[in-house]
Amino acid sequence: GIQVTKRIDKLGMRSSDTAQIFFEDVRVPSKNLIGEEGRGFTYQMLQFQEERLWGVATVLTPLETIIQETIDYTRQRKVFDKSVLHNQAVHFRLAELATEVELLRSLLYRTIALYVEGNDVTKFASMAKLKAGRLAREVTDSCLQFWGGMGFTSEVLVSRFYRDLRLMSIGGGTDETMLSIICKHMETLPSK
């Protein structure tokens, strides 16, 4: 009763196989049941905050790495006999991106501290996840641009992060889902 479709070719995260799985008339022995029958979705919902915080934590190092690699690359890359990094637009933008990463880290640490104390962190975890997804797109897009033509190849890490980190705004709840959750906690979500 278990049918697995062929592997789905994805934009990024290529090392992680994805396929559709269909269950038809599958029986699970009661000794193999985890939790109460019919509560699977509830169990999934209960772990979302941890999943979202984990996602935020795992994106910080790649973002720092790509900023540093972009600094190193633009420092040695010359255009019109001048290092690309010496352009104010480039070094200012990299400084802004590094600042945004540090702000995200602060929000993550604050949220984790509240979580450890036993507080409901749904609003802050959603804010951090939203910011992480958007910042992942912003950092990778900006840095890829500074790599020029090399950034558009599969030879450099920035192009891989550009593809792979895009999932941050989708997995564990889309940006739009995060915004809905935040609005609900701010009591600005229109009533039904």
Answer yes or no: is 18 within a domain: no
Per-residue model confidence (pLDDT) at position 101: 98
Answer yes or no: is 157 within a domain: yes
Answer yes or no: is 155 within a domain: yes
Domain count, the chain: 1
Nearest to 141 by CA among 93, 103, 108, 102: 93
Per-residue model confidence (pLDDT) at position 135: 98
| pTM exceeds 0.95, yes or no | no
**Blockwise average pLDDT, block size 10, the chain, 192 residues:** 87 82 89 89 87 96 98 96 97 98 98 97 97 98 96 93 94 94 94 79
Answer yes or no: is 4 within a domain: no
Per-residue model confidence (pLDDT) at position 52: 95
DSSP 83-111: EGGGSHHHHHHHHHHHHHHHHHHHHHHHH
**Partners of 13 in beta bridges:** none
Answer yes or no: is 36 within a domain: no
Answer yes or no: is 166 within a domain: yes
Indicate which residues carry an active-site annotation.
51
The β-bridge relationship of strands 2-4 and 82-83 is unpaired
Q: Which CATH number covers residue 94?
A: 1.20.140.10
Opening angle at CA 92, ends 87 and 93, nearest 5 = 100
* 120: number of Cβ within 10 Å: 11
Question: Tokens standing for 93?
Answer: 């933008």
Q: Which are the contacts of 67, defined by CB distance < 8 A and separation ≥ 6?
A: 94, 97, 98, 101, 139, 143
Full domain range(s) for residue 116? 44-186
Answer yes or no: is 126 within a domain: yes
Q: Which are the contacts of 172, defined by CB distance < 8 A and separation ≥ 6?
A: 48, 51, 52, 55, 129
Answer yes or no: is 92 within a domain: yes
The H helix count followed by the E strand count for the chain is 6, 4
